[in-house]
Copies of this chain bind each other. A is one copy, B any other.
Amino acid sequence: MQQKSCWTWRNCCFKVSETISYGVLLATIKDVAKAAGVSTATVSAVVNDTAYVSPDLRARVLSAIRDLRYSPSLVARNLRRGRSQLIALAVADLANPFYARMVSSAEAAVAAWGYSLVLFNSDEKPETERRILARIRTLGCDGAVIVPVGAADQYRHHEFDDVPTVLLGRSLGGDQADTVTVDNFSAGRQVTNYLLDLGHTHIGSITGPMQLSTGHGRLEGMIEAMAARGLAPQPSHVRSGEFREDAAYSVARDILGQPNRPTALYVANGVMAIGAMRAVSDIGLSCPQDVSIASTDTISGVGGLKPRLTRTEHPVADMTNAALRMLVERIEKKVSVPPRHITFQPALVVGESCAPVAR
């Protein structure tokens, strides 16, 4: 490998040597048929093991396949069969470790079912999601797992009729598609009860967008838990952080800057909790001494937070597997089943980010 030229680009070094060419066309079934002296139908029969072929011919076909390095074009096969062997996954925020884990589980499950995974990131933008749904249609994906980012009324009534779809993590309330969700209400209630048990009565919340089930559900759980003890959050202590770290940071500064600041914050997801932690420290307060912070949906150890978060954790892997199982069922037995809805229960995981209320 001799170096012929060197060229810098940012902080990188660039070396070239002899030419690569992709001129070699892939062999088609016709080439194989010709080489083996049989018809394409026979080659197809051998490849798919769909009809008896005499040992003689079979051997000739197999040898031709090997010689030509033939591998059937899935594009052509799928055009004919009307399938694509592709399952799409559209997550709401790929940079969020929570969704990274979802992707990891999904890849394994999809491969295990014999499909390939096409990955999309809607980045919490309904407009991007719209384009993704269109793309999934035209790609002819056999099925799709979607973490929806829009409000229920942003979707057409039969939005998900073309491609078998499972909504994962967030529900749209309606009955358009199969759904796998976590019990957000319970998550909010569990976390809040934990804070209440520590003696907190002034609890604020940085919520997700209210049009999402993960947004309002968690807040409603919190409100219910407080109401059960005759309490209610102060309106100025409940604000949306849009599931974004930077937004949560500002909102946290705002809430904690108020004269009667809450002693505890329920932050509706993991990345926002990081923002809130940062705000606490920038304001000159400390967690959990001055402010307790608890969260939901965080995966373990996200962001290297110093006091580990007290949080409810979602069984991401189980949820993803369940979603794919439902999806593949729908794809393969084409029978029309009523839409199904599976709800998982979150579990409270106690970290070091909450302390009994001072005084």
Contact = CB atoms under 8 A, between A and B. Distances in A.
Interface of A: 1, 4, 9-24, 26, 69, 71-76, 78-79, 84-86, 94-95, 97, 100-101, 103-104, 107-108, 111, 116-121, 134-135, 137-140, 158, 160-164, 173-178, 300-306, 308, 315, 318, 322, 330, 334, 336-345
A119 B107 contact: yes
A105 to B, nearest CB: 9
A306 B19 CA distance: 49
Contacts of A161: 20-22, 24
Contacts of A85: 139
Contacts of A318: 10
A343 B160 CA distance: 45
Q: Report which residue of A75, A108, A173 has the largest number of chain B beta carbons within 10 angstroms of its beta carbon.
A: A75
A315 B10 CA distance: 11
A342 B7 CA distance: 9
Contacts of A69: 162
A104 B121 CA distance: 8
A341 B303 CA distance: 33
B79 A75 contact: yes
Given A15-B340, A24-B161, A336-B21, A116 B116 contact: no
A97 B344 CA distance: 25
A75 B77 CA distance: 10
Contact of A308 (B119, B138, B140, B304): B304
B20 A137 contact: no
Contacts of A340: 14-16
Contact of A94 (B13, B103, B116): B103
Contact of A17 (B9, B71, B134, B338): B338
A1 B340 CA distance: 11
Contacts of A119: 103, 107, 117-119
Nearest to A345: B11
Contact of A338 (B11, B16, B107, B341): B16
A200 B345 CA distance: 50
Given A10-B318, A21-B161, A117-B118, 4 more contacts: A20-B330, A22-B162, A24-B162, A111-B120
Given A138-B72, A338-B18, A343-B12, A94 B84 contact: no
